[in-house]
Structure 1
Amino acid sequence: MLYTEILNNNRDFLALYRKGKFTASKNIVIYVRKNNLPFNRLGITAGKKIGNAVHRNRAKRLIRQAYRENELAMPVGIDIVIVARASLCSVKSTELSQYMKKYGIPEIYRLLFDSH
Structure 2
Amino acid sequence: MKKDYRIKSNKDFQLIFKNGRSFANRQFIVYLYENNSVNHFRLGLSVSKKIGNAVTRNQIKRYVRQAFLELQNDIDAKYDYIVIARKPVRDMNYHQAKSSLIHVLKIAKAIPRNFSSNP
TM range (shorter): 0.7 to 0.9
Q: In structure 2, what residue type is equivalent to 1:34?
A: E
8 Å CA contact 1:39, 1:77 repeated in 2: yes
Residue 57 (structure 1) aligns with: 58
Residue 66 (structure 1) aligns with: 67
Residue 6 (structure 2) aligns with: 6
Alpha-carbon separation, structure 1, partners of 2:16 and 2:69:
21
Residue 48 (structure 1) aligns with: 49
Pairing of 1:1-116 with structure 2 (within 5 A)? 1=1, 5-36=5-36, 37-101=38-102, 103-109=103-109
Aligned residues: 108
**Structure in which a larger fraction of residues adopt helix:** 1
Q: Which runs of 5+ in 1 are unaligned?
A: 111-116
| TM-score, normalisation: structure 1 | 0.83
Deviation at 1:10, TM superposition (A): 0.6
8 Å CA contact 1:70, 1:100 repeated in 2: no
Aligned structure 1 segments of 4 or more residues deviating by more than 3 angstroms = none
Alignment RMSD (CA, Å): 1.7
Q: Which runs of 5+ in 2 are unaligned?
A: 111-119
Q: Which moved more, 1:86-95 or 1:63-72?
A: 63-72
Which SS does the other structure have where 1:75 is aligned? coil
| TM-score, normalisation: structure 2 | 0.81
Alpha-carbon separation, structure 2, partners of 1:108 and 1:73:
13
Deviation at 1:21, TM superposition (A): 0.4
